[in-house]
Structure 1
């Protein structure tokens, strides 16, 4: 009996050490799925329990991690998170947004085949079900000749709104489909929400750093902004937000609640509920952007802050641009008690969103294909994000810090303070690499040594670009 126990011990240690060697030799790289317990049991000729024990040890050693309903994956390396800058009192005063022409350059590079598109946060080509969507759209346009060519006047096609309402139950929301307004992407949804809530010269509170295209939007709307510092680990600082609500009286607050762009962080349920309570207490409506909510690496769809709204003052924005097809421009706005204003404003701004794409997305969701598609692309983005983070860790200066997103596909990278990300941007452009320098994400000077990188564009073919960026960063450091 003692010999059998000893043999069993040796067997699970043999499995453990074999997997450690394979990870060390990059047979399985960070973010990649390792064999399932059953697969490894068969290939090594050992019991399921032996593999389970080996995988438990590997989890304890933080070499692999379990993802619910997905399997075991090689853990990303242990990087330090970017630091949360200490904002001074003067920076928590309303500020105008300066012009930044670089934003339009970065977005235009997304479609340039001669550029490595690490700058714009666009989905990977292999994660867009182009052929299936095209076939669905063709079928819907043949079957629904009139609906496909007629205006889908606000609030948009009913079948799509019903499907969106059903999906929102996964995020903790019981939504009336008649409240949902179909928009041309999430940016239009946010634009409409801000036009409803704010007037030129008004103040908007935002979590900082924030998606750079939003800053351009705020400038065009003539809004002043209050940047509330956000942590890469826990999100927006609610204590600072509440103090600011008392002293500054903003007209609205904008927060990217799940897999924030650029930080990648999601607010906990407790924090979402507390934020809604704080804003309600001060009579400040919330514009909630949930564009990345469906891209959780764990396959568990996070809640939205709207789930705790009792007064209809959370205007929830979403889109299928990151998960299905950016070119379809299918987004939506659930505007709560501002619903009728949203419908009227949509009609004034763009009349109606395209009918064929609404019909195609509605059918894709109705058929059940969307959930299967999400499981597939979540695995891909988890793998890409971990692989790019690992490459940054290997090639960038030693003091570099990287976020650890649990969804989405953007990485927020803090480089040594002596590095200017604008200089890195210019050098990278000359080599055919597009990146997003950190100064674009704030009106403050705190993020000049940061960059945001689009991990969706990561591939073995583009690995050279991260190595090149690392060499450039080290050269700039040496010359500073």
Structure 2
């Protein structure tokens, strides 16, 4: 059943699409809407944020919310890109280091960053939770649970899995140094050098770096900008190649923002189970949905222990704490041994701070506030892109997360654009980072997870001007 704010959003959307609310028309203020439909201000804000993320309305500073004017033809829907049928040796790291090294500069507008604004997270409360937990820690506990992780934190994670109807075995979850360690350990557990790994097209550049480090080859799977990996396309890849593993991000995929429907998730899990191919699930953005319910991870449909589910708190609660985990199913003992042989353990203070925070409650309230902020930011940045970028620009419309994927006119080389933008104090993530063969030369990922201040607006306007200058 839809929530109150979704029902309100749907009612307003119906009126917009029926022409009863015209472009440029002002919506009722939050106070007026509360009086009109007898709901709380929080419900109205959530409804307006949802409509904003769908590109239907826009916020104007100190003025209110307005029905957004129609965008220029050809600017809304991004297109599925063709993929190569061959495997590719991965050599992407040098380019990643070159392009993303500047994102650490606080004077640079971080449109190329992979993290949302730190201001969105309860860092003060996390610090207090950490101090409290450490004061009550018995000395022997500092080394008692080194490899597998803190019992309090693991129990809290098991409870979250259970609430989604997901059973995990006694060895899971394994606490790691962020999701990247979990993903790397899982990949290492199910492959050998020279193996072929199926990845999305485009895919997260860190997945390509992991393949490169382990001397693996990539084969790209057709990935719809809205719906994620195509099961038929994956089946064709499995028929053509001896695939050792798949690495997929089904929820708000980086960089596309795609959300894989439940039917596709079930079909992919069944397909890989029949083939005996392990599936590494990168689910770091799963909590950042803009709708009513969290998308069920692929792990929820796993009957054979072949899905290795990886996530972390870095994008939804505690950036910098570097606490992630893997629920590795039948591969959990192997992942544990690899963890022991590599980093041995994850920092105890970080784990305890998060365990204390989860036990005190308040996570769901924080996540609701975070989702509303990200939905609002995403809608505003998308509107600004549509306003300032040249005709022919196509922009994704994600249902969660904080990334936008842009397909620009053919004359725009986004790697060259990135370098020009750096001279203006703006970072971006050019499309060539997201494919083993650097195919997305006219695409761009933008981070919409930062406050809508003048720096962001000016940066987007500047990028649009640079794009419009031609070759």
Task: Identify the residue that residue 79 of structure 2 maps to in structure 1.
Answer: 83
Shift of the 221–466 alpha-carbon distance from structure 1 to 2, 3 Å rule, reads: same
Contact 1:151 1:354 in 2 (8 A): no
Tell whether 2:442 aligns with 1:431. Answer: no
Task: Identify the residue that residue 470 of structure 1 maps to in structure 2.
Answer: 464
SS class of match (1:254):
strand
Shift of the 182–62 alpha-carbon distance from structure 1 to 2, 3 Å rule, reads: closer
Shift of the 443–77 alpha-carbon distance from structure 1 to 2, 3 Å rule, reads: farther
Q: Aligned ranges for residues 27-426 of structure 1 at < 5 Å?
A: 35=29, 39-40=32-33, 42=35, 63=56, 79-87=75-83, 91-146=84-139, 149-150=142-143, 152-176=145-169, 178-426=171-419
Contact 2:92 2:433 in 1 (8 A): no
Shift of the 106–330 alpha-carbon distance from structure 1 to 2, 3 Å rule, reads: farther
- The normalised TM-score by structure 2 is 0.86
Cα RMSD for the two superposed structures: 2.8
Structure 2: state its 5+ residue gaps. 1-11, 59-64
Q: Name the CA distance, whole Å, in 2 between partners of 1:47 and 1:254.
A: 45
Contact 1:170 1:301 in 2 (8 A): no
Task: Identify the residue that residue 446 of structure 1 maps to in structure 2.
Answer: 439
- The normalised TM-score by structure 1 is 0.84
Q: Name the CA distance, whole Å, in 2 between partners of 1:383 and 1:191.
A: 33
Q: Name the CA distance, whole Å, in 1 between partners of 2:192 and 2:66.
A: 49
Q: Name the CA distance, whole Å, in 1 between partners of 2:66 and 2:239.
A: 46
Q: Name the CA distance, whole Å, in 2 between partners of 1:216 and 1:62.
A: 34
Structure 1 stretch 212-221 or stretch 172-181: which is displaced more? 172-181
Q: Name the CA distance, whole Å, in 1 between partners of 2:459 and 2:208.
A: 28
Q: Name the CA distance, whole Å, in 2 between partners of 1:47 and 1:215.
A: 50
Q: Name the CA distance, whole Å, in 1 between partners of 2:66 and 2:307.
A: 37
SS class of match (1:92):
coil
Shift of the alpha carbon at 1:48?
5.2
Shift of the alpha carbon at 1:114?
1.3
Shift of the 48–379 alpha-carbon distance from structure 1 to 2, 3 Å rule, reads: closer
Q: Name the CA distance, whole Å, in 2 between partners of 1:136 and 1:159.
A: 13
Shift of the 176–169 alpha-carbon distance from structure 1 to 2, 3 Å rule, reads: same
Q: Name the CA distance, whole Å, in 2 between partners of 1:333 and 1:353.
A: 13
Shift of the alpha carbon at 1:229?
1.6
Contact 1:171 1:301 in 2 (8 A): no
List per-residue Cα deviations over 1:228-272 (Å, max 9, x = no partner). 120112111211110111220110011001110011111111111
Task: Identify the structure with the greater helix proportion.
Answer: 1
Shift of the 209–154 alpha-carbon distance from structure 1 to 2, 3 Å rule, reads: same
List per-residue Cα deviations over 1:362-391 (Å, max 9, x = no partner). 111122211110000000000001110000
Shift of the 75–356 alpha-carbon distance from structure 1 to 2, 3 Å rule, reads: farther
